[in-house]
C-alpha cells in the first residue's frame, strides 16, 4: 500500500476497489516472477550475485557513457511509474538497463541471471598483478599460496597494470622460440589476493553497443583504464604542462631523497622487518612531482679517473662513514675532499691486490676474458668494482640504504656503477643465469638462514659454471659463531651442488676467501639423498623478477644446448657484437626481423652515435655515468665501448624481455618501470638517453612526474637526449623549459632533442 501513499485522493469505494485490483495484479506479477526465476541458482546465490554486482559498480570509477546510460534508464523508470522488485527486497543490482533485470520469460530470465553472475565475478576478480608482465604472474600466484614471506607490494592501480599487460610483446629470451600458449595462460593468472577468479571472463562475449569495439565483456579494469588514460593524456596536454608550477620536496631526507626507499608512510605500515622489508621498494601511490634540493656548496663533479680517488665533500656531505670505516681505508675526509684509498673491510691494503688474490685462488676466473659481468653484494663505497675496470670487468654493485650512510652515493659520485638494493624478501631485478661471478666480501648477508633462501637467489642469477667468491670471517676465523656458520654454509652449498673449488688465505690482508662453482648439469640435483632445498616447480619462471617473492627452491640448469645458459658466452670482447647462440631465426625480433638479424641491425643503428651526440652538444670528457632509459639489445651501450664511460641499460617491465641479451654480450642492466622512481640517489647520472620512451609512458603516467624523476637523478650540468615523435618531444621541451633547463639541440620534426640541466630550484616548498 505504500506504493500509493503519494496519491491525494479520498478513500471512496471505487478507489478502494481500484486499489484492491492493482494490489492483486501486483501480487500475481510478483508470483510469476518468482516462479520463472532460475531454479538452479539459490536465493542466497542470487542475493550474493546482485550484492556483488552492486558493490562492483557502485565503488568503481564510472565512465561518462555509463553515467548517461544509467541516468537515461532511471528517467525511463520514473516516467513509466514502475518499481524494480529487487529494490523492495534490498538486492538492488545498481544502475543497470531495464532489460538486464526484468523477466519477460523463463529462458531470458535464466540467461540474464547467468550473465549478471559472470559480469559480477569478472569485475571483482580483476586485480593488479604488480609483476614483470606474463613471466611473473604465475610465479606470484604460486608464491602467494606457499611462501611464508610476506611481501609489501608497491601501490599500483589496476588500470595501469592492465595497460602494461596489453602493451607487452611476445619475445622469448630463454631460447627455443616463443611460448604464445603459455604467455596467454599467464595473462589470465590472477594476483594472490584474488578470490573466486576461476569464473572471471566466462560466458557470452557480446560486442559493445554501437559496434565500436570487438572486445568481450567490459570490466571495471577496462572502463577505468580508458578513463585513466583519458585523464593522463589530458594532464599531459601542452596547456597544462606550460603553466606547471614546481615546488621543492618537503621530505626529511632532503637532498638525498629516494622516493621508493624513503616512503615513510608505507614503512610505518610494515608488519615485519625480519626480511629487511624496510630496505625494499615501497613507492608512493602518486609519484612525486616535486624537485629535490641541491646540497649547499655543490660543485661540478670531478672527472674520471680522478673521481675514483676523490670527490668534493659538499657534493655528498656525509662524514659518518669516514669516522666508522676510515681505519679500513674506505673513505677519509681530506680538506674539501672525500678521499678513497681503495680499501675495504677485506682489502685494507687496496682493491687491486685483492682482485689479483682472487685470480690466483682460481685462475679459471680469468678476469676480463671468461669473467666479464659480476654482481658485488654489499659493495660498500664500490672500490672493488671501481678497480675492476682496470681488468676489463664491469660490476653491478649494490648495498642497502642503511646505517652505512651514503655508501652507494659515494660510489656513484666516484663514477662507479651501483644501486641501492637489499637481499630481502623479493627477487633481485635481474634475469636468471646472467652473472659470470658473484662476490661477497663481509657483506653481512645471512646466507644460511631461512632454508638458504638468499643463497638460492644468488644461484638463480648466477650462470651455470659461474663462481661465488665468499670472503668472510667464517672462512678463516675459528670463533664459535664463525665455526657454526661455516658448518651450516658447508651443508647448504653441498645441498645445492655447489663445488668448493678452493679456500685461499691472503697473507697481506690477513683474510681468506672460499670460491664455489655452480654446476653445469642437473645430475647432482637428481642424485641428492634429500630433496632439500626442493627443486622449483616447473611453472616457477626463474626470469620473473619484478616484485616477485623469494622462494627457498632450486632452479634446474638448462639441458637443451639451444637454451640460454647451457653454454658459456664467448670470451670478452668477442661476445659484445656476436648474436647470442640461443637467438634463432624462428624468433621475431623487436624490429620485425628474425632475431639474429634484428640484433645486427640494432648494432648498425647505433654505430655512429658518438659522432651524432657530439654534434648535438655532448662533450664526452664530462661524461662518466650514463643510463639508457629504454635499452633494447644494448646497441647504444655497445657503441660507447671505447669511451671511458659505463652505461646502465634499463629494460622496461612492459617491454619485450631483452635484458638477458644485454648481459650475454658483456653489458649489464636492470628491470624497471618508469612510472615509479629509480633506486638511485639524486644527482647520479651525467647523461640520460631516452629512445621512444616518453610517448609510451605518457599513456600510463603523468609526464610531470616522469620529468621530475629525470630531474632528480641527473646531475646539474648533465644532459638528456630524447628521441621520439614530434608531439611528445614538444611536451617534453615544454616541461624542460619550465624546469629552467637549457635546450642545446632541438630538431623536433627530425625526432631528437637534447637539453642540459642547470642548478635552478624553486623557492616554494611543497605541502607535506
* 490 closest CA partner among 476, 475, 479: 475
CA distance 259 to 682: 10
Show the domains of the chain with their CATH numbers.
343-557 (3.40.50.150), 568-767 (3.40.50.150)
Per-residue pLDDT reduced to its tens digit, 439-476: 999 999 999 999 999 999 999 999 999 999 999 999 99
CA dist 363 and 367 (Å) reads 9
State the pairing for strand pair 332-334/337-339: antiparallel
Q: Each residue of 470-507: pLDDT tens digit?
A: 999 999 999 999 999 999 999 999 999 999 999 999 99
Per-residue pLDDT of 3-14, as tens digits, reads 333 333 334 444
* DSSP sequence for 46-95: HHHHHHHHHHHHHTSPPPHHHHHHHHHHHHHHHHHT---HHHHTT----S
Report yes or no: 168 and 133 within 8 Å, Cβ to Cβ. Answer: yes
pLDDT-wise least confident of 78-92, 206-220, 283-297, 514-528: 78-92
> What are the CA-CA distances from residue 387 to residues 372, 391, 392, 589 (Å)?
13, 8, 9, 36
For residue 399, which of 391, 388, 410, 387 has the smallest C-alpha distance?
410
Mean pLDDT of all residues belonging to the chain: 80
Q: Is the pLDDT of residue 217 over 60?
A: no
The pLDDT, as a whole number, for residue 163 is 44
Q: What integer is the mean pLDDT of 29-37?
A: 61
pLDDT exceeds cutoff 90 at 166: no
Q: Which strand (E) or helix (H) includes residue 455?
A: helix 453-461
Q: Is the pLDDT of residue 197 over 70?
A: no
**For residue 34, what pLDDT is reported?**
61
pLDDT for 649-695, tens place per residue?
999 999 999 999 999 999 999 999 999 999 999 999 999 999 999 99
Task: Cell numbers for 183, please give them.
Answer: 604467455
pLDDT tens per residue, range 292-309: 999 999 999 999 999 999
Between CA 569 and CA 66 the distance in angstroms is 56
Q: What percent of the chain has pLDDT over 70?
A: 69
Going by C-alpha positions, the residue among 286, 282, 333 that lies closest to residue 312 is 333
DSSP letter for each residue of 340-359: --S--TT-TT-HHHHHHHHH
* DSSP sequence for 213-248: ---SS--HHHHHHHHHHHHHHHHTSHHHHHT----B
What the block records as the C-alpha cell of 8 is: 491525494
Q: What is the pLDDT of residue 262?
A: 96
Mean pLDDT of 15-30: 63
What pLDDT does residue 51 have? 38
pLDDT value of residue 91: 31
Cα–Cα distance for residue pair 450/488, rounded to 1 Å: 12
Q: Using 50, 70 and 90 to split pLDDT, how confident is the model at 560?
A: very high
Statement: residue 282 has pLDDT above 70: yes
Instruction: Tell me how far apart the 2 most distant CA atoms of the chain are, in Å.
Output: 116
How sure is the predictor about 521, in pLDDT bands with cuts at 50, 70 and 90?
very high
If pLDDT is split at 50, 70 and 90, which confidence band does 2 have? very low
Looking at residue 23, its pLDDT comes to 66
Mean pLDDT of 421-425: 96
Tens digits of per-residue pLDDT, 596-611? 999 999 999 999 999 9
Q: Say what percent of the chain tops pLDDT 90.
A: 65
> What stretch of H or E contains 526?
helix 523-527
Residue 208 pLDDT greater than 80, yes or no: no
Amino acid at each position: 500500500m505504500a506504493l500509493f501513499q503519494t496519491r491525494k485522493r479520498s478513500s471512496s469505494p471505487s478507489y478502494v476497489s481500484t486499489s484492491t485490483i492493482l494490489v492483486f495484479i501486483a501480487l500475481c506479477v510478483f508470483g510469476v516472477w518468482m516462479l520463472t526465476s532460475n531454479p538452479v541458482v539459490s536465493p542466497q546465490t542470487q542475493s550474493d550475485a546482485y550484492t556483488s554486482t552492486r558493490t562492483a559498480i557502485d565503488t568503481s570509477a564510472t565512465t561518462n557513457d555509463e553515467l548517461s546510460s544509467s541516468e537515461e534508464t532511471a528517467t525511463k523508470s520514473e516516467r513509466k511509474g514502475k518499481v524494480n522488485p529487487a529494490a523492495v527486497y534490498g538486492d538492488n543490482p545498481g544502475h543497470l538497463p531495464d532489460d538486464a533485470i526484468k523477466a519477460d520469460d523463463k529462458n531470458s530470465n535464466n540467461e540474464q541471471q547467468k550473465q549478471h553472475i559472470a559480469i559480477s565475478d569478472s569485475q571483482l576478480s580483476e586485480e593488479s598483478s604488480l609483476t614483470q608482465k606474463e613471466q611473473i604472474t604465475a610465479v606470484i600466484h604460486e608464491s602467494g599460496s606457499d611462501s611464508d614471506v610476506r611481501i609489501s607490494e608497491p601501490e599500483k592501480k589496476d588500470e595501469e597494470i592492465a595497460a602494461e599487460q596489453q602493451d607487452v610483446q611476445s619475445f622469448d629470451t630463454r631460447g627455443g622460440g616463443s611460448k604464445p600458449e603459455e604467455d596467454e595462460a599467464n595473462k589470465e593468472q590472477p594476483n594472490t589476493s584474488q578470490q573466486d577468479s576461476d569464473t572471471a571472463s566466462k560466458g557470452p562475449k557480446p560486442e559493445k553497443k554501437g559496434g565500436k569495439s570487438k572486445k568481450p565483456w567490459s570490466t571495471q579494469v577496462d572502463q577505468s583504464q580508458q578513463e585513466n588514460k583519458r585523464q593522463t593524456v589530458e594532464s599531459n596536454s601542452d596547456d597544462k604542462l606550460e603553466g606547471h608550477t614546481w615546488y621543492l620536496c618537503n621530505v626529511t631526507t632532503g637532498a638525498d631523497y629516494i622516493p621508493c626507499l624513503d616512503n615513510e608512510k608505507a614503512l610505518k605500515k610494515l608488519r615485519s622487518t625480519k626480511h629487511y622489508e624496510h630496505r625494499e621498494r615501497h613507492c608512493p601511490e602518486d609519484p612525486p612531482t616535486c624537485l629535490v634540493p641541491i646540497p649547499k656548496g655543490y660543485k661540478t663533479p670531478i672527472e674520471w679517473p680522478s673521481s675514483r680517488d676523490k670527490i668534493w665533500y659538499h657534493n655528498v656531505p656525509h662524514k659518518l662513514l669516514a669516522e666508522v670505516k676510515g681505519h679500513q681505508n674506505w673513505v677519509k675526509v681530506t680538506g674539501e675532499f672525500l678521499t678513497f684509498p681503495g680499501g675495504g673491510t677485506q682489502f685494507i691494503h687496496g682493491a687491486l691486490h685483492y682482485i689479483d688474490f682472487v685470480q690466483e685462488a682460481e685462475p679459471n676466473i680469468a678476469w676480463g676474458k671468461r669473467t666479464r659481468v659480476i654482481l658485488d653484494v654489499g659493495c660498500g663505497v664500490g672500490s672493488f668494482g671501481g678497480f675492476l675496470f682496470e681488468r676489463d670487468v664491469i660490476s653491478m654493485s649494490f648495498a642497502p640504504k642503511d646505517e652505512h650512510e651514503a655508501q652507494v652515493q659515494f660510489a656513484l659520485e666516484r663514477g662507479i656503477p651501483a644501486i641501492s638494493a637489499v637481499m630481502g624478501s623479493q627477487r633481485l631485478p635481474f634475469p636468471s643465469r646472467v652473472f659470470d661471478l658473484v662476490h661477497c666480501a663481509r657483506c653481512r648477508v645471512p646466507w644460511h638462514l631461512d632454508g638458504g633462501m638468499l643463497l638460492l637467489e644468488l644461484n638463480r642469477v648466477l650462470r651455470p659454471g659461474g663462481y661465488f667468491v665468499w670472503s668472510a670471517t667464517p672462512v678463516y676465523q675459528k670463533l664459535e659463531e664463525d665455526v657454526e656458520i661455516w658448518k651450516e654454509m658447508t651443508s647448504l652449498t653441498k645441498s645445492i651442488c655447489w663445488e668448493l673449488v678452493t679456500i685461499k688465505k691472503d697473507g697481506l690482508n690477513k683474510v681468506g676467501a672460499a670460491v664455489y662453482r655452480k654446476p653445469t648439469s642437473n645430475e647432482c640435483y637428481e642424485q641428492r639423498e634429500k630433496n632439500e632445498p626442493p627443486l622449483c616447480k616447473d611453472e616457477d619462471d626463474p626470469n620473473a623478477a619484478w616484485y616477485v617473492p623469494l622462494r627457498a627452491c632450486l632452479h634446474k640448469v638448462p639441458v637443451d644446448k639451444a637454451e640460454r645458459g647451457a653454454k658459456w658466452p664467448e670470451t670478452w670482447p668477442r661476445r659484445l657484437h656476436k648474436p647470442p647462440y640461443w637467438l634463432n631465426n624462428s624468433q621475431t625480433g623487436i624490429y620485425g626481423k628474425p632475431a639474429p638479424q634484428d640484433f645486427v641491425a640494432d648494432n648498425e643503428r647505433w654505430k655512429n652515435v658518438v659522432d651524432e651526440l657530439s654534434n648535438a652538444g655532448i662533450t664526452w670528457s664530462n661524461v662518466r655515468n650514463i643510463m639508457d632509459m629504454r635499452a633494447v639489445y644494448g646497441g647504444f651501450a655497445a657503441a660507447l665501448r671505447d669511451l671511458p664511460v659505463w652505461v646502465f641499460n634499463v629494460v622496461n617491465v612492459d617491454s619485450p624481455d631483452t635484458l638477458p641479451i644485454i648481459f650475454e654480450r658483456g653489458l649489464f642492466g636492470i628491470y624497471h618501470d618508469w612510472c615509479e622512481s629509480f633506486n638511485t640517489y639524486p644527482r647520479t647520472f651525467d647523461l640520460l638517453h631516452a629512445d621512444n620512451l616518453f610517448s609510451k609512458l605518457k599513456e600510463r603516467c603523468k609526464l610531470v612526474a616522469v620529468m621530475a624523476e629525470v630531474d632528480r637523478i641527473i646531475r646539474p650540468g648533465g644532459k638528456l637526449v630524447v628521441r621520439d615523435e614530434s608531439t611528445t618531444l614538444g611536451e617534453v621541451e615544454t616541461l624542460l623549459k619550465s624546469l629552467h633547463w637549457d635546450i642545446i639541440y632541438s630538431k623536433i620534426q627530425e625526432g631528437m632533442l637534447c637539453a642540459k640541466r642547470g642548478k635552478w630550484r624553486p623557492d616554494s616548498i611543497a605541502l607535506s
